[in-house]
Amino acid sequence: MPATELAPPQLPDLVDSHCHLDFPDLAAETDAVLARARAAGVNRMVTICTRLKNEPKVRALAEAHPQVFYAAGTHPMHAAEEPLATLDELVALARHPRFVGIGETGLDYHYTAESKAIQQTSLRIHIAAAQETGLPLIIHARDADEDMAAILAEGMAAKPYTCVMHCFSSGPRLAEAALEMGFTLSISGIAAFPKSQDLRDIFARAPLDRLILETDSPYLAPPPYRGKRNEPAYVAHTASAMAPVFGLSLQEFAAITTANFDRLFPRAARGS
């Protein structure tokens, strides 16, 4: 190229470890959403099924698009509304080559505390599936830190498993407990909100090799899109906001979190 012509900026190599491409806000324009993700440097993503009756639809997205992988489980807020997942059912789903994780599952006492008993039962079944399959557990935790830490530790004592604390926004004690068990913390757009300094401090204290990125789209868009529909491309904005926390460039932070993703989700790793 001519000496006066600048090379185009290098795109980061990013992964959105948790999105919901089957939700109506994104499903209506899948091809455009994936194109915008690619243009932002987001080259792979995991779309999450939150009700097992929707698994065929979510699986179809992963089968149709090479950059899309999927996971399935019963979201804790749906645990009282849906048939209880069985270990055999989850293990059978996990045989699909593009199925990369168990969940999301977990505990949510913020909106659905009245169903905490069935949530805990469901969580234990999902833990058993992660132990049986060797696939990572995907955890949703809200206002349930003490019970969450206890149940995760109970499972770990019985048989080790891998796990990601999806969209981590809990307190430092749960973060410490999760990290002590060897788990990964996932950074969402919440960490980029101006008032999220306490959360950024939790991530800053975590080992760099235990952090990955996500959008949880169509929810929780980072600035400058806060309050609007989120999508996988916007993981680049969260990465840009968080890289300086670690004294890293965007490209460096992207490379580290993508390598972490590849270790945690080996079925979705590049070249797998």
**Domains defined along the chain, listed by start:** 14-268 (3.20.20.140)
pLDDT-based confidence at residue 1 (cuts at 50, 70, 90): very low
pLDDT-based confidence at residue 2 (cuts at 50, 70, 90): very low
Q: If you average pLDDT over every residue of the chain, what do you get?
A: 95
pLDDT above 50: residue 3: no
- What tens digit of pLDDT does each residue of 135-188 get? 999 999 999 999 999 999 999 999 999 999 999 999 999 999 999 999 999 999
Q: Which residue would you say has higher pLDDT here, 5 or 223?
A: 223
Cis peptide before 266 (omega within 30 of 0): no
